[in-house]
Chain A
Amino acid sequence: MSQKSILLVEDNPDDVALTLRALKQNNIRNEVVVARDGAEALDYLFGKGIYANRDIAVFPQVILLDLKLPKVDGLEVLRQIRSNPKTKLLPVVILTSSKEEQDLLKGYETGANSYIRKPVNFEQFVEAVRHLGLYWLVLNEIPQLSGTVK
């Protein structure tokens, strides 16, 4: 199992299922950690709550972040990721339904690396995931984060 894991932050169980299916169809076998809301995502990244025993030296290769989340919403999660020195360099891809101009702006302003709108059509969605996987998991280089063992 490759150490390059994916953190998927998504509250809609259908969307989670579809995303995992799309990843499988693209032969992307990286470990996918699913956080069902913003608080869980942060707990995972910083080793709190139910993830208190996690080795927090290990970080995901990429974070797929939905915007509309219960408890702590997507932008707040992003803000906290970007303000913590340990996590601020982590690649975050905003994966969301909204094409609203203000979400786009706020996403980039808060420090997202990329913004992708989830298409309704599943085939297009699979195609989008393929591109995502290829780019962020294979092509993109990330800096050596403290404590990451290759």
Chain B
Amino acid sequence: MTTRSIDKFISRLKKFSQIAGTIVTLVGAMVLLGWMFDITTLKSVFPGLVSMKPNTSLGFIFSGLSLLFLNFKKSNPITQRIAQASAVIVGLIGLLTFYQYISGQGLGIDQLLFKEPPGTVGTYAPGRMAATTALNFLLIGLALLFLFNPKGYKTAQSLTVIAGLIGLLNLMGYLYGVKTLYGVATHTQMALHTALAFVIIGFGILCSRPEAGFMRLVISDTVGAIMLRRLLPIAILAPFLFGWLRIIGQKENLYGMEFGTALVAIANITIFVTLIWYNAKKLHAADLERKKIEEENRNFFTLSLDMLCIAGFDGYFKKLNPSWEKTLGFTVKELCAKPFVDFVHRDDRERTIAEAGKLATGRETISFENRYLCKDGSYKWILWNSVPSMEGRLIYANARDITERKRVEEEIKKLNEDLRKQASQLEAANKELEAFSYSVSHDLRAPLRSIDGFSLALLEDYGDKLDQEGKGNLGRVRAGCKRMSQLIDDMLNLSRLTRAEMRPEKVNLTALAQEIISELKNAEPGRKVEVSISDNLFAHCDLRLISAVLENLLNNAWKYTSKHTKAKIEIGSLNQNGKPVFYVKDDGAGFDMRYADKLFGAFQRLHRMDEFEGNGVGLATVKRVIHRHGGKVWAEAEPEKGATFYFTL
């Protein structure tokens, strides 16, 4: 049964209580009518039976009313007062009448409403109810009063059960025809409908507060309650019924007393054995199911690799799964012996207490980290997810050992720090390099200027005093300066190129080559050079850097074909393994393939200064740029037959 169906059950019981109250009130009212109009059926049900006395009807009217007003959904002080007053009246009726019986004195209350003649059937004193009836009213009145205080529910229920049993006993007496059950000869008998009414109101009172007292057992969803609900009615009704059937059978002379007794016994045995067996089967299955779930939950708790725990608001661990011992080394007993804060690292204690405080107000904890002491004295980092249960004042938590994760985090942090330091060191180095280039631009050139300038001054002012050799020497000095200046420029360019930011874009190599060629032609219009450039040469690269490459390669081609009267330069691309390879081909001086590995070295030359000018930086520049683009550069040549330089990007 779910909580919802229990609630439905409770509300149904309460409704029944209302109905019971109504019935009882009606019965009382109808009997009074019977007295008013002298209707025997209403007064005695069956003629010849004792009548329900007027006071009794009053008693029932007021009990019924009391019960009804008690059960009002929206109770206000007025209804409560009415209910209480009614209960008091009922109790008083019972008490006073009972007193009359005990003391033997008449208080004159019996015939207040109606009179009846003495000697009426089953009546001790005219108009007086049975002693048992009086007693019952006393009990019912008290029970109703006790219903006003939740602490008195149990007492109320007990009193009601007594009254109900008395009523039931009298009812049985009527059914079985046992006169002594419903009245000792000299005393007034309890009327039939009185007995019935007592049973009904008894049930009504019991059902009015089903969450309290022993009614709680009746409405629970435990296995015990199920059994109670199934078996109790039958345990009461079956023997009752069989007894009654047996008496009827005996009266009709169907069988004798012994046979009747045996029959009843057999019937009882049969029905109870069947019932018990049936119930036992159902309960067995339910219990097995429950055990299975328990086992699952227990496994879940014990086998979980995460640390699961239940802690109290009082700061102690209540339940811990085995993972705790595996992780921290302490036994469960040791961990439960002290407040859990004692195991937390000193620096984390304040935070932990604050977090626990939050939990106690009903807030969940998600991803809370703190350090826990291990048996060996070290600390482990623990990650917590906790949720409080306010009714039980408990915290249900899931903890995970994240020491490893923390360690990795620390490492990563440290690595990042190192990287950052390295990056800033590199940046510093780069800045130094820039400052160096800057200073080179200035400071290396100035002395060169002086050397060149004053050499020329010498030549101009004192040239006539110098012989050819002297003039030649000064000429060499000036030439040296020129070369050095060029070298400085080339070196600076090379360093700038390798440091510069690359901005890759789609570059038209054909157009670029054409520009450079036309510049070369303008510089030396006298030369006959046949140039063929393939169309639509495109590449994805940095414009400035690739211009430098082409300039160098084409300058070289132009330079090294200068000794031939007619020259041919070709620029194009071919396909190698699906990737384009660009080439610059000339039919000039070429070089010896034996020295090819020196080709791209900085300041390396394969020709002498008097053969061809140059300082050996051009191809080094080309190689650096191509490598920055992730490509390759190489060359093939034959002396005097020309050279071809290939590159990929």
Residues of chain A touching chain B, judged by Cβ–Cβ distance below 8 Å, are 12, 14-15, 17-18, 21, 67-68, 96-100, 118-123, 125
Contact = CB atoms under 8 A, between A and B. Distances in A.
30 contacts: A12-B446, A12-B450, A14-B449, A14-B454, A17-B453, A18-B449, A18-B450, A18-B454, A18-B457, A21-B453, A21-B457, A68-B442, A96-B442, A97-B449, A98-B438, A98-B442, A100-B437, A100-B438, A100-B441, A120-B445, A120-B449, A120-B452, A120-B482, A120-B485, A121-B452, A121-B478, A121-B482, A121-B485, A122-B453, A123-B456
B359 interface: no
Contacts of A121: 452, 478, 481-482, 485
A97 B453 contact: no
A100 B499 CA distance: 14
Interface in B415-446: 437-438, 441-443, 445-446
Contacts, number: 60
A97 B456 contact: no
B438 A15 contact: no
Contacts of A100: 437-438, 441
Contacts of A98: 438, 441-442
B453 A14 contact: yes
Contacts of B478: 121
A-B pairs with lowest CB-CB distance, top 9: A14-B450, A120-B485, A18-B453, A122-B453, A122-B456, A97-B445, A98-B441, A120-B448, A97-B442
A132 to B, nearest CB: 16
B510 to A, nearest CB: 28
Contacts of B482: 120-121
Given A14-B449, A18-B457, A97-B446, 17 more contacts: A12-B450, A14-B446, A14-B453, A15-B449, A17-B454, A18-B449, A18-B453, A18-B454, A21-B457, A67-B442, A68-B443, A97-B449, A100-B441, A118-B449, A120-B452, A121-B481, A122-B453
A8 B414 CA distance: 56
A125 B449 contact: yes
Contacts of A12: 446, 450
Contacts of B452: 120-122
Interface of A is mostly: loop
Contact of A120 (B437, B438, B457, B481): B481
A18 B438 CA distance: 23
B453 A125 contact: yes
A102 B448 CA distance: 23
Interface centre among B450, B453, B457 (most CB of A within 10 A): B453
B258 to A, nearest CB: 130
Nearest to A102: B438
Interface string B442-480: 110111111011111100000000000000000000100
Interface of B: 437-438, 441-443, 445-450, 452-457, 478, 481-482, 485
Contact of B441 (A14, A18, A97, A122): A97
Contacts of B445: 97, 118, 120
A67 B438 CA distance: 12
A97 B482 CA distance: 15
A39 B454 CA distance: 28
Contacts of B443: 68
A120 B454 CA distance: 11
A121 B478 CA distance: 8
A121 to B, nearest CB: 6
Contacts of A99: 441
B442 A15 contact: no
Contacts of B448: 120
A121 B456 CA distance: 9
Nearest to A18: B453
Nearest to B450: A14
A115 B438 CA distance: 17
A136 to B, nearest CB: 21
Nearest to B459: A122
B441 A15 contact: no
A12 B445 CA distance: 12
Contacts of A97: 441-442, 445-446, 449
Nearest to B447: A14
A99 B492 CA distance: 10
B515 to A, nearest CB: 21
A22 B449 CA distance: 13
A98 B444 CA distance: 10
Contacts of B441: 97-100
A99 B437 CA distance: 11
A96 B441 CA distance: 10
A15 B450 contact: yes
A20 to B, nearest CB: 11
A14 B446 CA distance: 9
Contacts of A68: 442-443
B441 to A, nearest CB: 5
A118 B452 CA distance: 12
A24 to B, nearest CB: 11
Interface centre among A67, A68, A97, A122 (most CB of B within 10 A): A122
Contacts of B457: 18, 21, 122
A118 B441 CA distance: 11
Contact of A122 (B437, B438, B446, B449): B449
Contacts of A21: 453, 457
A97 B455 CA distance: 19
Nearest to A13: B450
A60 to B, nearest CB: 23
A119 B446 CA distance: 9
B500 to A, nearest CB: 10
Nearest to B461: A21
Nearest to A99: B441
Contacts of B438: 98, 100
A127 to B, nearest CB: 12
B335 to A, nearest CB: 68
Interface centre among B441, B447, B478 (most CB of A within 10 A): B441
A5 to B, nearest CB: 23
Nearest to B489: A99
A67 B442 CA distance: 9
Nearest to B456: A122
B495 to A, nearest CB: 12
Interface centre among B445, B457, B478, B481 (most CB of A within 10 A): B445
Contacts of B453: 14, 17-18, 21, 122, 125
Nearest to A68: B442
A100 B492 CA distance: 10
Contacts of A18: 449-450, 453-454, 457
Nearest to A120: B485
Contacts of A96: 442
A137 B453 CA distance: 24
Contacts of A67: 442
A15 B456 contact: no
Contacts of A14: 446-447, 449-450, 453-454
A123 B459 CA distance: 12
B319 to A, nearest CB: 72
A123 B438 CA distance: 25
Nearest to B444: A97
B443 to A, nearest CB: 8
A15 B453 CA distance: 9
